Amino acid sequence: MFEMHNVDKVFYRGQVLRRKQRVVQDVSFSLGPGEILGIIGPSGAGKSTIGKLAIRLLEPSKGRLFFEGRDITHVDRRTSRRLRASMQIVFQDPQASLHPGKKIGNLLREPLRLHRLTTRSEEPAMVKRMLAQVGLNTDILDRYPAEVSGGEKQRIVIARVMALRPRFVVLDEPTSMLDVSVQANILHLLMTLQQEWNMAYLYISHDMRLVTRLCQRLAVVVDGRIVEQGPVEEIMAHPRHACTKRLLANRINNP
């Protein structure tokens, strides 16, 4: 369904000297329908950049991207907009995804109008269904993001994403900024929706315990490179790279 082939991402720092920084190097992986691939590695390894490249929030400096057999590395604005409905992302910080000056009801209607998913008369029923899917009530619609909890904010973000019925979703540490008490509920919600709609997830995390529980395959990222990838069971049983061994040891020492 999704393939990344030999992708690099280079940023240039500084106004005068223009220092070159390669943050992603020769990254390749594939993801099938309904599959969950975990991207695991230490902080600053380039995991989030890989996620943004995958859904074209960033343009690759080199390499190619394919979605459902089509080369999407360079597409026009109209095609990019159509792809956006099929390829979505849930960020680490839900607050950053929600305009603080807009009520929840307006935030939920935005993707419906942007992608022309319903008529105006159908919107109230659709919004109600969106809320029900993520376990929220309609009394939240007249509130602002600052007036709801972190867990509720992330549920609203998920409702906006899932309204588009995407086939590929990047989850960039979607629970790491939430209270421990609500993390399990959000993960359960994400997994329930994934199974219901057979979506492919690219799950980005630094928590080996989490990805080994949720994912079928893992890709270990160090300094912008995938240094090891394969089925979860195989990597857990026979880790090859030193970083993988450290992550697994930390998982065992901190159950």
Which residue stretches of the chain have pLDDT < 50?
none
pLDDT tens digit sequence for 231-241: 999 999 999 99
Tokens 């990344």 identify what position? 4
Q: What is the model's pLDDT at position 20?
A: 87
Q: What is the model's pLDDT at position 29?
A: 98
Residue 120, burial from CB neighbour count under 10 angstroms (0-12, 13-18, 19+): exposed
For the chain, what are the domain ranges?
Answer: 2-253
Torsion angle (degrees, nearest 10) of CA 123, 98, 171, 251: -140
Q: Which amino acid is at 135?
A: G
Strand locations in 112-243, DSSP E?
Answer: 168-172, 200-205, 217-222, 225-231
Per-residue burial over 203-233, b = 16 or more CB atoms within 10 Å of its CB, e = otherwise: bbbbbbebbbebbebbbbbbebbbbbbeebe
Q: Which numeric CATH code is attached to 2-253?
A: 3.40.50.300
Q: What is the model's pLDDT at position 255?
A: 55
Please tell me the pTM assigned to this model.
Answer: 0.92
Strand-strand pairing, 70-71 and 2-13: unpaired
Q: What are phi and psi of 225, to 5 degrees?
A: -120, 145
Q: What is the model's pLDDT at position 17?
A: 66
Q: What is the model's pLDDT at position 181?
A: 82
Q: What is the model's pLDDT at position 180?
A: 85
Q: What is the model's pLDDT at position 7?
A: 98
Q: What is the model's pLDDT at position 78?
A: 85
Q: What is the model's pLDDT at position 16?
A: 64
